[in-house]
Structure 1
């Protein structure tokens, strides 16, 4: 293909690509899309994060904690304690501390956690029993009289304030009801059938009891007047919010971020247990020490020396013993050459020279067979015993 033809092909390709680009540009329609990534890690860790931000926007100083350990450091004057944590393990001493803090001028808001037991005359909520309020299920209450005025919003809790024509509406859980048998409450809020919030004085402070705090979590605080009610209960004070945050355990975090490593670790542990538990033969009971004799100890000692020192060391020790006895029997034995020493040993032991030469020859470095080793040892023992 000539250079001119290649040039025309290039021009045609550029023209086609340009036409395609213009076509796509004319047909393309720009648009915007919002992608919801869900709650942020801070919102997932703190269910009352939106409530905290709302109160801060209203000029309140707010902090949060996970236990009552911070109570001694909180000045009760102009301070509100929102007790939204699990109190199933609350001790009588902790109840006294909270009530004493409130009596000194603090505002206490807490959630009733247990039902009143008529038979036992108590509930499992020590703090609720101390303020002498009872909680029950709304379904156990008597029905509203038929001639009562119909409620436009029966599922909403209404709080009436002075100098206000319309009530504030809050989204409490209507399955629960608060009862005040001692008539201690000075303010309350009701739905069509039940009472869900009561407020009573306590010394220089005040106590507010609610049936639940779900309406102040992030998912529901923007509904109705939920956020306003939380501000109303803590207005003009500093706020400390106490709740239990749910933290993932170590195993959960490891499984989430290192599943392969956990599987490998479990496999190694299983293999190790299998190796440790595997038997390699029948279990032999230890022999009784009463039946062991001197011959057995000598045999065991010889086996130990043979395993640790080898054949050469044992044979050399026997040869040295034979030569040492020959020196004692034949004065000047060391001055004789090897052939003369073998002749002297032949006269002393009445053994042929050939047998003596085989027994006293240098020990080979290679390992002898069991038969050769036993034969060599027998020759040396015969020479040693006859000297």
Structure 2
């Protein structure tokens, strides 16, 4: 009994000592891990823009497709995430008429470089989209490897960047191995020095160490600086991968299109390429851009991107078409169920009316038609005549008749006239016709052939 109590006491004492040591030497460490955007932000790349507009009190809503033009007012603003959503000439005309009446549109140029699709909006303005410069800042994979250093490595190939990165890693590993040996010998002194240094650090230094700058460190020549009519300046950083081209770009800052001015803002180092184009039409305006990510979640907080969006929208109601969606067949059937039912009933009634003529007792089947013997004879005669066998048939018919009259003896002209006169008395035919039938040349036409055969039949009947 005493040993068990002693064991319990010793156990409790060890637990108390371990807890005390843990509380003395325990140090709370907080580490912030960036897990990326949440589910809602991944579904909607313009979520940050929506919340920014809500904060400014700008009314906005999302639409499914370009058919929303019929419901827009003249003073509304429309955002199209791709110019390819204007897919036919009717939509283009409707879109331009809406801008002419006072609408403001912000359109991102279609990014399908090299494909064979026609962009009706860009063609109407005489614009083209071409490949521009390469900026490593916009390469997400390289930014994950190099971090913010990617913007400082401009002009190098990917292989050179990877060799430089691997060299730095090897140097860090060697320096880390040498530091571990020194760390084992001066653990306590290093810990005390670190505690003293951390206590002497100012809050400003800690904040600057933990937070990253809002704007990337880039060359100022890559920025587009715009000044509004009210004097407000906006610094924008466009992705130079794609840019607009025009035959007059580099020679002038604007051009007339259908009597209205078309302006462009060129890059500072490339005057023949532009990421931003304005088109004044009637009482409205069209803003065309090549960078689709300027107002997306990961870049709207950089430079003056968000404020530039607010400047373009102003006090208008904004309608955003970011992911065009059309109604499915099931949705259309559900929406127009009454119309489909009426159309089906009308089609059924028309079918019944068409088939009602065949209802009732069956009519007797008609007798199968047979061709007469005369039709067969006529058909055979036509066939032989087309085969140039009429002369031989005629000779085969009149040769036996001529043999009966002359006994196969050749008759001269006097004898032929004598025989023809006797036969004419019995048949009533003309002597000349009898001579032509019995001793004349073979017929060459169907009418002559038929007349000769009729004469032969009369002569045979008389004999």
Q: Per the shorter chain, which TM-score range? A: 0.5 to 0.7
Match of 2:236 among 167, 170, 180: 170
Give the drift of 1:179: 2.9
Residue in 2 aligned with 1:27?
25
Match of 1:84 in 2: 81
- Rounded to whole Å, the distance in 2 between the matches of 1:66 and 1:86 is 15
For residues 288-311 of structure 1, the C-alpha deviation after alignment (integer angstroms, 9 at most, x for no partner) is xxxxxxxxxxxxxxxxxxxxxxxx
Does the 8 Å CA contact 2:263/2:278 hold for their aligned counterparts?
A: yes
Question: How far apart are residue 114 of structure 1 and its match?
Answer: 6.8
Aligned equivalents of 1:26 and 1:115: distance in 2? 63
Q: CA deviation at 1:195?
A: 2.1
- Tell me by how many angstroms 1:28 deviates: 0.7
Aligned residue among 225, 246, 255 for 1:179: 246
Larger Rg: 2
Contact 1:114 1:124 in 2 (8 A): no
Work out whether residues 199 and 209 of structure 1, in 8 Å CA contact, stay in contact via their aligned partners in 2.
yes
The alignment partner of 1:206 has SS state of strand
CA contact (8 A) 1:61 1:238 kept: yes
Q: Which of the residues 92, 97, 100 maps onto 1:100?
A: 97
**Alpha-carbon contact 2:113-2:131 (below 8 Å) kept:** no
- Structure showing the higher helix proportion among its residues: 2
Unaligned runs of 5+ in 2: 134-217, 249-254, 326-463
Q: 2:314 aligns with which of 232, 235, 255?
A: 235
User: Deviation at 1:56?
Assistant: 1.8
Out of 46, 52, 55, which is 1:54 matched to? 52
Q: 1:116 to 1:96 in 2, by over 3 A?
A: farther
Give distance in 1, aligned partners of 2:247 and 2:233: 22
Aligned to 1:345: none
Contact persistence 2:48–2:296 (CA under 8 A) = yes
Which residues in structure 2 correspond to 1:1-387 (within 5 Å)? Answer: 3-77=1-75, 79-85=76-82, 87=84, 90-113=87-110, 124-138=118-132, 153-162=220-229, 164=231, 167-175=233-241, 176-179=243-246, 181=248, 182-183=255-256, 184-185=260-261, 187-192=263-268, 193=270, 194-244=273-323
**Contact conserved, 1:159 with 1:188, CA < 8 A, in 2?**
no
Aligned equivalents of 1:138, 1:6: Cα separation in 2: 84
Q: Equivalents in 1 of 2:48, 2:306: separation in Å?
A: 9
Residues in 1 aligned to 2:5 and 2:129: alpha-carbon distance in whole angstroms:
91
Deviation at 1:102, TM superposition (A): 1.4
Matched positions, count: 227
1:167-199 CA-partner distances (Å, limit 9, x unpaired) = 422111224134374345465433212322121
Structure 1 Cα separation of the partners of residues 111 and 15 of structure 2: 75
Partners in 2 of 1:211 and 1:199 — Cα distance?
12
CA contact (8 A) 2:83 2:107 kept: no
Give the Cα–Cα distance (whole angstroms) in 1 for the partners of residues 317 and 291 of structure 2. Answer: 22
Contact 1:64 1:241 in 2 (8 A): yes
Q: Which has the higher contact order (CA 8 A, sep 6+)?
A: 2
CA–CA distance in structure 2, aligned partners of residues 223 and 185 of structure 1: 30
User: SS of the counterpart of 2:306?
Assistant: helix
Contact 2:83 2:121 in 1 (8 A): no
Q: 1:242 to 1:87 in 2, by over 3 A?
A: same
State the Cα deviation string for residues 290-333 of structure 1 (Å, max 9, x = none): xxxxxxxxxxxxxxxxxxxxxxxxxxxxxxxxxxxxxxxxxxxx
